[in-house]
Structures are given as structure tokens and as C-alpha cells.
Structure 1
Amino acid sequence: MSFTLDRVRAQFSALHQSHNGLPVTFFDGPGGSQVPESVLEAMISYLGHHNSNLGAPYITSQITSELVASAREACRAFLNALSADSIVFGANMTSLTFSLSRAISRQWQAGDEIVVTELDHYANVSSWRQAAEDKSVVVKTALVDESDCSLDIEHMLSLITPKTRLVAVTLASNVSGSIIDISSIVSAAKQVGAMVYVDAVHYAPHHLIDVQKLECDFLVCSAYKFFGPHIGVAYIAQPWLEELTPYKVEPAPANGPGRFETGTQSFEALAGLVACIDYLGQWGEAGLGLRQRLEQSYAFYNQHETQLSDYFLQQLAQRPHIKLWGRHSADSQQRTSTFALTFEQHASQEVAQALGQQNLCTSNGHFYALGLIRQLGLENCGGVVRIGLMHYSTVDEIDRLFEQLDALTQ
């Protein structure tokens, strides 16, 4: 089946609703994407027929065990991991990162150093700063390149020393949409024996992740950002899967990814996750493996989102009273279709509230990228209005957005 926007949108019931006589239009993808019917059906089917726990000698427990294995394999293909054993599940990226930070920091010594950034969502900052405080470890923070709201790579590289134990970095800003080439960062970290912990939450809906190409030690994302349910996914590279000692309730599994998973998992969410990844790969050629189908499907997403970004930026260029914080390029290799805006005569909160009254779903603030907003000097004026387009978004929706912005701001 070939990719068309109509075929995409037909799978999302949320995209066809109205409220108070107006269509509900979603520009809040970076905060959480909408979910296709196949994901909902998979979750309902699991809860309705197979709800169970692991380790029992009856059919629904066996089906649940098979589901967990299927979810690990689907995520292995999604991330291009070498082994499904490298896939760990948790409530969300933030919870996984706090948990993993405890295990990773066990061996830190006073005087060791870690590097975080001002660009990242603070789930990939606060977790490490608090772990460092517990161990009297020095925290260095890389600055934002304010010209395009990306990362100041040179500054970050200058912070990596032989004392560095971990570098935490994002693949894409959840506020400005700027995509970060982390290859030089990973190389520098490897030269001094430091771990690299990658936040791919905002990147995952827009680009297919390849942990082998990235050569990172850890990578985390959340399925509710890429058209799935609320569940977090972590990739843990060898040898850390066996060498780290996570905090666990006894008796913990002796080996494998279960060592890092606390409590009973949301098995219905895992069912939705499998369906979500299958949805993402549906535009690939039938008969190919899942990874290949995902690669072909994401090429369609990238093409469509580049067209959306180009159109959005053309419209924005006609409105000099609206400031874009981020790259002005529409190239999907340089940015995601996420845009951070401020307005000459109107506060960000005022604009977001006015749009919300017209069922244009967006919001304002710092979006937990507090370092970025502070460095840009926007913390005390309501932050930015964030417009997030997904591969189900349309040009007509962009037109409606700018019509309402014109009515408010001109």
C-alpha cells in the first residue's frame, strides 16, 4: 500500500472530531502524538482476552510472555539494536533515566566529571545533576548555539576530559526542533572512556533511530511521542547490560533486560507498542523485514514533513512580527517540523490560549527545556509557543493556524 496523507489520516479517529462546531486540530505532537486505531485495538484485545502476569503455567500468562518478547524484538528493529536483550521497558523516558542514573552512577568517584547540555529536556539533565551531587561529581554544562537554537558542539567538546564519565545529549531539541549531529561528541567521549546517554524522545517520531550507527551506550525514547501508548523504551549496549547493577526488588533476574525493569510492566501498553511500530512500517514493501519496511516508511514521513516545514516557513516569512527561534531551513536532516515562536505585541500564553479557544491544540512555556529558555532570556515572558507538525498534519491545517494568528496578532 502506497503512502498517501488520506490513508494516514483515515487511521486516526482523533483527527476527525470537532468541538463547539469547530474541527480539533493538533499542533501538539511534541507533547504527545495521536494514536492510530490499530494501537487502540491491540491494547483492548490484550486487556479483554489475555490480561495476566508473567511466569504462570497457563495460556494467558504464556501469551503475555510471548508479547514481551515480541515487544523487545519490535523495538530491536525500530532502534536497529544487535539484540532484543538490549531493550528495556519502563513507565516513560524520565522514569527510565532516573532509574538508570542510579545504576550508572554507582561506580562514580568524587572528582569525576559528567557533561550535560542547556539544550536538553531536563529529564536528561536533572537526573544526572542529582546523581552527581550524591557522588560529589563535577557537572559541566554545554551551552546552546543561540543562532539556531541547537547545541554549541565546540563548547561541548571542550568540556570532555579524561575525567569525564558520562555525556548526556539529545538528538533533537523538543522546543526548536533543531537536529544535533552527535558523531563528534560520541567520538570524543569514546576517546576518554566515557559513556554516552542519548535522549531520542523528540527525534523518534521524525527519523528512524540507528543505535549501531550512533555508537551510543544508552538511548531512551517514549512511545507516546511516536504514535503509541504511554511507555518508555531504553536501549542498553553491551557490556553495560550485564556489568551494571540496577536497584531492584529481590529476587531480581540474574541477567538480561529484566534486571532493569521494576515491578509489573504495562502489558497492554506493550501490545500497543508492537502495533505502533507495525503502523510506522506499513508503507514499506510487503515481504521485507520490519527494519527495511521502517526505513522505507520513514522516507515518506521525511519527505512529507519537509514539505510541511517548507510551507510553514514560507508563511512565517510573510509575518515579520512573529519570531522563529531555531533553524530557518526546511531540510528534515537539519530540523524536525517543530517550531518555537514568540510575538512582538502578544505574550506567548495569550497566543496559546487564543488558539486553544479555536480548537488549535498547542501550548506555551519552557517544555522542560529550561536551560534553553533561560539562555534565550524567555523564562519570564511565558517562554515560546510551540507548533509541532507530524506526518499526519496537512497544509490546510497550517493555513487555518495562520488565519487565526493573523486575526489575533495583526
Structure 2
Amino acid sequence: MPYDVEKVRAHFPALHEGAAHFDGPGGSQVPDVVADAVAGTLRAAVSNRGSVTKAEQRAEQIVAEARQAAADLLGAQPAGIVFGRSMTQLTYDLSRTLAKQWLPGDEVIVTKMDHDANIRPWVHAAEARGALVRWAEFDRATGELPVEAISSLLSTRTRVVAVTAASNLLGTRPSIARIAPLVHSVGALLYVDGVHLTPHAWVDVEALGADFYACSPYKFLGPHLGIVAARPALLESLRPDKLMPATNDVPERFEYGTLPYELLAGTTAAIDFLADLVPGTGPRRTRLARSMQALEDHEHSLLTRLETALQGTRQYGSPTRDRTPTLLFNVDGVTPMEVYRKLATHNVNAPAGTFYALECARWLGIGDAGAVRAGIAPYTNESDVDRLAAAVRTLG
């Protein structure tokens, strides 16, 4: 069944404003069913989780449904789904928890490709424990992160390797499935930032070999929230700091305070929406596989169209199939911020900067000014791409 982008677009009230949105990597627009789920939860009687009142039961059901939905999306177990305020917050919390087991001279590996949310928490945790930070470098010319960049740094003192599943700046997708067994061979854990990959590809955490996989629903059409998926047995082995009366059950021991039930309901709705991007039957996990493949084909076609239309700009990274539909570019003689502002006058939203991938931008040589980033989303169509290209041509 072909991908019907106009049918998808009809579910996004924000598109009625007329802008062409290429700002999805920073936060996607939201379909009506997600907004309805959030609003419906806020209008309903919901209280702290329990089994006595209907309000308590409703809260329990919302949480259980959200864990199952996230598990279906990621190929994980519901008991291994941890919710938090953001991926950044969850990564800080888990880095501090894991660091309790580190000794001076232990090592953590981070990459110059990653968003700072998968760098700084590990750097700070290492500093607090006297551990060493080792940096994996990517190829500036191709924008690729070779497996050897990680494997060459591994040692018996390595405790954690933190690496992105897809660069939020370049779209590059490192080979996590090849990196994982190398990390595990030295007894280390693999923490994968899947924030930028999850909106664009079929994800199977077990197949990837990630010990921890972090993502953000607001990047895949949902509300602002963070998710980490891990094996329940691994979570059982960790002892995070928590309030004394708080449960010691997994995954709840990692979730501080009362969960945002309305956002969890919205997350479930977003995942259901992704599962039904193309018609089909079967379990949600099966429908997600079908829909995400159709979405990936659609988005790659648009990315190819955009790369061709923007020939003459300075484009970063390699134009390969194995990347997310994200194009980073600069226009000669025009600062990235000025390009951003001028595109906005054409009602085209394509922001500029480093997008918190500061180490990546500096290693590329584009510095703190960064570049313009055009991200393709499920609601992007050919007209959007052509509008962006036409607007860029006016800058010459």
C-alpha cells in the first residue's frame, strides 16, 4: 500500500497555518488524535495510581497502555520502559546511577557525533568518580562514524559506551548492531541515543544490542516526554537514589514523582498513529513495521529530491540511503541565522544552529554558528520541499 501523505497531513491542525515545517528534528508537529488523547485525559477523573477508585484505575490503565505501546514501538519489554521528563533528564539520572559502580581509572567512551545529552551526563559522571573520558571521532569528510572509532578505544576498564543511533545534525546512522558485541566483549554497557532515529526507522532494541535505548515522543508526533528502554533484569541490578516511601519495583524505581498521565496517553496515541500510517491489520508491532518501512521510503524519496534541489549549497555528510531524512547545509556568503530568518519570511521553518550537537559542529568545522538543518517528517510533501528550495534560491 503506497504512503498517502495527504491523508496523513489531514490529521495535523498546525499545518493549516500554512508553514512548511522542516523543524521536526527539534520537535514534530502533533496529529489531532494525540491532542485529543491529552485533552481527554485532562478532562477525565484521574488520580494517583491505585486499584480502588475509577480514577485510580484509569491512571493505572494509562500507564500500562503507554508502557506496552512504547515496548511495541521499540521491540522492548513493557517492564523495561522507563518514563521521564526528557531524554536528557533520564540520561543524567542513569549516568549517576551507573557511576556508583565505577572506580577511579575506569573509562567511559563518548563520541564527537552525539547530541550533548549523550555526552555531558557521562562526562560529569566520570568527573565525579575519577573515571576517564575517551572520545571517538567521526570522519569529517563523510560524516560517518566507523566501528573502529569505538573498538580502538575499548579496554577492560571501559564501563559505558554512549553513542547515537542517528546524528541529529547529519542524519548519520552508526552501525549499532556491529558496535554492540564489541562493547559487550569487554564487559561494558551500551547506552544508545535513539531520539533522532526513532521517528524515521523501524527500531528493534534487542537486535541492535543496546543495553539502554533512549528516545523522545515529541520527536515522533507525541508530547514532551522521555523514554528509556532496558532489560528489566538490568534495571533490577541498579539502585538509583529515590524517596524512601517510593516503590522499589522496576521500572517505577527510576521514575520520580507522579507520572504525567495526559502525556502518557498522548504517547500511546502517537504510537498508534504511527502504526496506522498505512492501512493494514495485525498486532501493533506488525503494523508499526509495515508503516515505518513505508514512511522510510517516502522520506528518503523526499530527501533525495531536496539534496538535488539544493545543489550549489554546502551540504554536510554523505548522501547515502543509510541515514535519516535530515539535510545540514550552508549558503555561501549568508550566515546560517540569516538563512533561517529569510526562509521564515517565505513561511518555511528550517532553523539554524548546532542543535545541541556542539562537539559535532565544532569537529565538522562549522563552529558554534552551525548550519541550517532541514528535517523531513511524516507530514512533509513534495510541495514543502519545492518551497524550501525556491526560498533558498532567492538568497543567491
Scaled by the length of structure 1, the TM-score of the pair is 0.94
1:393 aligned partner, one-letter code: T
Q: 2:383 aligns with which of 357, 371, 396?
A: 396
Match of 2:354 in 1: 366
Q: Give the secondary-structure state (helix, strand or coil) at the position aligned to 1:168.
A: strand
Query: Within the alignment, does 1:100 sit opposite 2:129 as a pair?
Result: no
Q: Could you tell me which residue of structure 2 aligns to residue 51 of structure 1?
A: 46
Question: 1:2, 1:248 → 2: CA distance?
Answer: 48
Query: For 1:133, what is the secondary structure of its paired residue?
Result: helix
Q: Aligned to 1:130, what secondary structure does the other structure show?
A: helix
Distance in 1 separating the partners of 2:371 and 2:258 = 38
Aligned residue number for residue 319 of structure 2? 328
Q: Is 1:38 the counterpart of 2:33 in the alignment?
A: yes
2:60 corresponds to? 65
Structure 1 residue 314 displacement after superposition: 1.5
What corresponds to 2:363 in structure 1? 375
CA shift for structure 1 position 326: 1.1
Letter of the 1:357 counterpart: T
Q: Distance in 2 between matches of 1:287 and 1:362?
A: 36
Asked if 2 retains the 8 angstrom alpha-carbon contact of 1:284 and 1:292, the reply is no
**Secondary structure, counterpart of 2:70 in structure 1:** helix
* Cα offset, 1:51, TM superposition: 2.9
Q: Is the 8 A contact 2:97 2:238 kept in 1?
A: yes
Please list every run of 5 or more consecutive structure 1 residues that lacks an aligned counterpart in the other structure.
Answer: 18-22
Q: Which runs of 5+ in 2 are unaligned?
A: none
Identify which range, 119-128 or 299-308, moves more after superposition: 299-308
- Find out whether 1:200 has 2:164 as its counterpart: no
The amino acid that maps onto 1:328 is P
Secondary structure of the equivalent of 2:310? helix
How many angstroms apart in 1 are the aligned matches of 2:232 and 2:225? 23
Residue 75 of structure 2 aligns with which residue?
80
Q: Give me the whole-angstrom Cα distance separating, in 1, the residues matched to 2:188 and 2:243.
A: 29
| CA distance in structure 2 between the aligned counterparts of 1:47 and 1:276, rounded to whole angstroms | 17
Greater CA deviation, 364-373 or 230-239?
230-239
Partner of residue 20, structure 1: none
SS of 1:295's partner is: helix
Contact 2:176–2:209 (Cα < 8 Å) also in 1: no
Preserved contact between residue 216 and residue 237 of structure 1 (Cα < 8 Å): no
Residue type of the partner of 2:344? G
8 Å contact kept, 2:46–2:58: no
Matched, 1:224 2:221: no
Q: 1:388 and 1:286 mapped to 2: Cα distance?
A: 27
| Length, aligned pairs only | 396
Distance 1:6 1:377 in 2: 39
Contact 1:87 / 1:234 at 8 angstroms: preserved in 2? yes
Q: Shift of residue 2 of structure 1?
A: 6.5
Partner of 1:8: 8
RMSD in angstroms over aligned alpha carbons?
1.3
Q: Is the 8 A contact 1:25 1:359 kept in 2?
A: yes
Letter of the 1:5 partner, please give it: V
Q: Give the distance between the partners of 1:156 and 1:46, measured in 2 at CA.
A: 44
CA distance in 1, matches of 2:103, 2:93: 19
Give, in angstroms, the shift of residue 157 of structure 1. Answer: 1.2
TM-score normalized by the length of structure 2 = 0.97
Query: For residue 30 of structure 2, what is the amino acid of its counterpart?
Result: V
Pairs within 5 Å for 1:19-30: 23-30=18-25
Which of the numbers 252, 262, 269 marks the counterpart of 1:275? Answer: 269
Q: Determine the C-alpha separation between the residues in 2 that align with 1:165 and 1:345.
A: 45
- Worse-superposed segment, 149-158 or 228-237: 149-158
Q: Percent same amino acid among aligned pairs?
A: 39
DSSP 3-state at the match of 2:202? coil
Alpha carbons 2:118, 2:163 under 8 Å: kept: yes
